[in-house]
Amino acid sequence: MKLYLKGSRCHTVKCAVERRGTVPGVHTWSRRKVSTYGRQLREKQRLKRIYGVLERQFRIYFDHAVQRKGNTGDNLLLEVERRLDNVIRSAGFGLGPNSARQVVVHGHVMVNGRRCDRPSRQVKPGDVITITDNEKRRKHVLANVESGKAFLGETPAWLEVDRDKLTIKVVQMPDREQFPHSINDQLIVEGMSK
């Protein structure tokens, strides 16, 4: 399954998933049936890799999702979707998760007029995210925007993006229907609740 972890490479013929029709290894035909635990683990690992979150941070997100009211799976997806590096990637300022994380960590981003270099920062409605005025930093982000135009999909409805001024405004909290990936959150909740 394509997770689009390699940025623009996943949209070309060089994509590893497109080139290879089978799973890696010699005996691809002799795969065993995946257990329930294996499916739960695979779904959790997929979500972690899509957003570039390590296990400890993912556990913290899960604990926050359990404490909030409502569906735990929806709350968990809301936690990872509101990360600053994911907002940068969704707006097209980063080509993939690693590129978006790099834009944030290198100090190219300002949230509400203050520089922020934490990719795990949770954005909330009303936040305005801009790229710093430094010409060298803006060139890097503009290069990402230009190269991403060919394969960039629609921006999420919960964000207002101005690619000319390089600004993002968070309009509302994301809904479950606006989640861009097909994740079975129930498997993740079942696996982590043990």
User: Which of helix, strand or coil describes residue 41?
Assistant: helix
Flag whether 40 is in a domain.
Answer: yes
Q: Specify the CATH number for the domain of residue 51.
A: 3.10.290.10
Which tens digit of pLDDT belongs to each residue from 57-70?
999 999 999 999 99
Nearest one of 159, 110, 157, 118 to 137, comparing CA atoms:
110
Helix %, strand %, coil % of the chain (to 5): 50, 10, 40
Which tens digit of pLDDT belongs to each residue from 78-94?
999 999 999 998 888 88
Flag whether 1 is in a domain.
Answer: no
* Model-wide pTM > 0.85: no
**Cα 9 to Cα 14: distance, rounded to the nearest angstrom:** 6
pLDDT of res. 81: 92
Flag whether 2 is in a domain.
Answer: no
Confidence check: pLDDT of 188 > 90 = yes
Domains in the chain, number: 1
Flag whether 26 is in a domain.
Answer: no
β-pairing, 167-170 vs 128-131, is antiparallel
Beta-carbon contacts of 137 under 8 Å, excluding residues fewer than 6 positions away, are 106, 107, 108, 131
List, edge to edge, every strand of the sheet that includes 128-131.
114-115, 109-111, 128-131, 167-170, 159-162
* Phi, psi for 168 (deg, rounded to 5): -130, 135
Flag whether 123 is in a domain.
Answer: yes
Flag whether 100 is in a domain.
Answer: yes
Q: Give residue 60's domain range.
A: 7-21+34-192
Which tens digit of pLDDT belongs to each residue from 12-37?
666 666 666 666 667 666 667 889 99
**Of 22-36, 89-103, 149-163, 165-179, minimum mean pLDDT range:** 22-36
Nearest one of 150, 61, 139 to 103, comparing CA atoms:
139
Flag whether 27 is in a domain.
Answer: no
Flag whether 174 is in a domain.
Answer: yes
